[in-house]
Amino acid sequence: MEWKKIFSLCILAALMQLPVNGQGRQLPALRVSANGHYLLTGDGQPFFWLGDTGWLLFVKLNREEAGKYLEDRRQKGFNVIQAMVLHTLTAVNVYGDTALKGRNVATPNTTPGNAFGDAAQYDFWDHVDYIVDLAAQKGIYMALVPVWGANVKSGGVKEGDAARYAQWLAARYRNRSNIIWMNGGDIKGSDSMNVWKAIGQNIHQHDPAHLVTFHPFGRTSSSEWFHNEAWLQFNMFQSGHRSYDLDTSAEEHKFGPDNYKFVEIDYKKQPVKPTLDGEPSYEEIPYGLHDTTKPRWKDYDVRRYGYWEVFAGGAGYTYGHNSVMQMHKPTDKGSSYGALSYWYDAINYPGAGQMVYLKKLLLSRSYFDRVPDQSLVAGEPGGKYKYIAATRGGTYAYLYDYTGRPFSVNMGKISGSTVQASWYNPRNGKTTRIGQFNNKGVQAFTPPGKEQEGNDWVLILESTK
């Protein structure tokens, strides 16, 4: 009889791990830290946003595929997936279920029941529910874009319909603990601003427990339009996909690929709100997106964007891959931006596996007292790829060097009479000790290897006494 009891307990345990609509694993609520610059969980623990852009997850992947994707991202340390709820107003998922009636966001196409395998019950929204709950089981938060910006810009979403849709979304998902709302979607806030305000205000009013941000157009930040809105609890910018040589003199491109400059602007705004790069250059996407003959961004590029942005005071970072963000499959008729691989292969590209080392580094020491501090860099910090990014807490300092060039540090910025210096490798997370130094004056450091793009290192200085 004992084996039957054990078998029954195993079955029960397995069933408890299955996502159930509205009753999945409860993750800690997310909120803004006391100093206004970072995110934390309801139990006071630091929350370093490590996101992935799985934009077409809800329409392109079936349940099994979604499970494979989410499990891979969990294993690689991602804790946020950014996904479009409605990519288009004619959205249809992999099972042939349409999202809306009459292409109207105010009339979601729902059916009674949610039994998978029953075409009369399992609808588009049940599939969204399933994936959201599955993500919760894996400790992942879902940053949901209610409707992508192009649909609003084209006039397909009216203000009143947007308000009703936002209220419906809020009611459906407010009891799910792993929701973050991402208003907008590759759009300027000035374009159809009344619609974006209607969505933001109604979601926040009817679902106040979940954070809300805005995903803007390339080379812009949500702070340009919505910083003082009560519904916008943290800022997001899109540093975009252009290289230095593709930039113009237009105002919207004034920062070029220097994504840390967006953080510097947002960091000083009042009231203080967290900010992060929600869309930097994707791994394996062509420079500038549209010309597939151009070089493609590599793992070392996404590392550079991540360390630059976070060391400037960012609350986290979002990675992306060209094939993964569109969930490119063999059955697709072509692809966007010249995707070279299918999503299930692209999830293993090196950049995705290296992002966790950024997260681990930031969480390895005191978190909420960390501030950006370029005064650590002795002399000029360098321009373009030679830029040295610096940040510190009370007892430690990090300096990121993308090209592995020699640089010097103004000591005495952290506590203690001596410091331990180490090199941290962003490619594998390994730390190599250099030695101890007096914590005063100017000290020169030379990273390992040849000076070149992608030979990136983080210098760690830590108080010893």
- CB-facing half-sphere around the CA of 10: CA atoms within 13 A: 6
DSSP conformation class of 246: G
Q: Please check whether residues 83 and 182 belong to one and the same domain.
A: yes
Report the relative pairing of strands 316-319 and 49-53 from DSSP bridges: parallel
Q: What is the DSSP string of 288-348?
A: TSS-TTS-B--HHHHHHHHHHHHHTT-SEEEE-BHHHHTT--TTSSS-STT--S-HHHHTT
**Cα separations (Å) of 173 from 170, 179, 180, 439?**
5, 7, 10, 52
What pLDDT is recorded for position 249?
57
Cα 233 to Cα 237: distance, rounded to the nearest angstrom: 14
The pLDDT of residue 6 is above 90? no
Asked if residue 12 belongs to a domain, the reply is no
Q: Is the pLDDT of residue 385 over 50?
A: yes
* 233 and 296 fall within a common domain: yes
Query: What percent of the chain is helix, strand and coil (3-state, nearest 5)?
Result: 30, 25, 45
Quick one: 359 and 377 in the same domain? Answer: no
The percentage of the chain sitting over the pLDDT mark of 70, rounded to a whole number, equals 93
Report phi then psi at 106, rounded to 5.
-80, -10
Work out the mean pLDDT of the chain and round it to a whole number: 94
Taking the C-alpha atoms of residue 142 and residue 154, their distance in angstroms, rounded to an integer, is: 26
351 lies in some domain: yes
Residue 21 has pLDDT above 90, yes or no: no
Both 236 and 382 in one domain: the answer is no
Q: What is the pLDDT of residue 427?
A: 98
* The pLDDT value given to residue 255: 84
309, 400 in Cβ contact below 8 A? Answer: no
Structure tokens at 220: 């812009």
- Look at residues 333, 363, 393 and tell me which one is the last residue of a structural domain: 363
- Is residue 173 located within the same domain as residue 305? yes
Measured CA to CA, the distance from residue 400 to residue 372 in angstroms comes to 12
Instruction: Count the neighbouring beta carbons within 10 Å of the beta carbon of residue 268.
Output: 9
Burial class (CB in 10 A: 0-12, 13-18, 19+), 354: buried
Confidence (pLDDT) at 247: 75
What pLDDT does residue 253 have?
58
CATH number, domain at 443?
A: 2.60.40
Maximum separation of any 2 CA atoms in the chain, in Å: 78
Q: Is residue 212 part of a domain?
A: yes
Using CA atoms of 361, 72, 243, 187 in order, give the dihedral in degrees to the nearest 10: -100
Helix (H, G, I), strand (E, B) or coil at 21: coil
- Residues of the domain holding 56: 18-363
Considering the domain architecture, whether residues 306 and 412 belong to the same structural domain is answered as no
Report pLDDT for 63: 98
Q: Is the pLDDT of residue 99 over 80?
A: yes
Region 134-163 average pLDDT: 98
Residues 423 and 354 reside in one and the same domain: no
From 363, 387, 416, the end of a domain falls on 363
Q: What does the pLDDT read at residue 423?
A: 99
CA dist., res. 51 & res. 83, Å (int): 10
Range name among 241-255, 302-316, 323-337 with the lowest pLDDT average: 241-255
259 lies in the same domain as 331: yes
What tokens were used for 14?
Answer: 């397995």
Are residues 364 and 393 in contact, defined by beta-carbon separation less than 8 angstroms?
no
Sort 310 into a burial class: Cβ within 10 Å, 0-12 / 13-18 / 19+: buried
According to the model, what pLDDT value does residue 9 have? 40
Coil, strand or helix at 409: strand
CATH code of residue 109: 3.20.20.80
Residue 84 to residue 169: CA distance in whole angstroms: 13
- DSSP β-ladder status, 141-145 and 179-187: parallel
Say if residue 15's pLDDT is above 70: no
Note whether 409 and 335 are same-domain residues.
no
Q: What would the mean pLDDT of 29-42 be, rounded to a whole number?
A: 97
pLDDT of residue 4: 41
Instruction: Based on the fold, state whether residues 270 and 195 are members of the same structural domain.
Output: yes
Q: What integer is the mean pLDDT of 189-193?
A: 98
Phi, psi dihedral angles at 104 (to 5 degrees): -115, 120
How many domains is the chain partitioned into structurally? 2
Q: Domain boundary residue among 318, 338, 363? A: 363
Once rounded to an integer, what is the mean pLDDT over residues 382-390?
97
Indicate the pLDDT class of residue 12, thresholds 50, 70 and 90: very low
Which are the contacts of 342, defined by CB distance < 8 A and separation ≥ 6? 323, 328, 329, 330
359 shares a domain with 257 = yes
Can you give the pLDDT at residue 23?
52
Q: Dump the DSSP string for 101-114.
A: ETTEEEEE---S--
CB 122 within 8 A of CB 130: no
In this prediction, residue 251 carries a pLDDT of 61
Name residues whose C-beta falls within 8 Å of residue 279's C-beta, 6 or more positions apart in sequence.
53, 186, 215, 218, 238, 239, 240, 318, 320
Q: Are residues 391 and 455 in the same domain?
A: yes
User: Mean pLDDT throughout 183-207?
Assistant: 98
Two structure tokens written together for 281: 């250059």
| Band (25; pLDDT cuts 50, 70, 90) | confident
Question: Is position 2 within any domain?
Answer: no
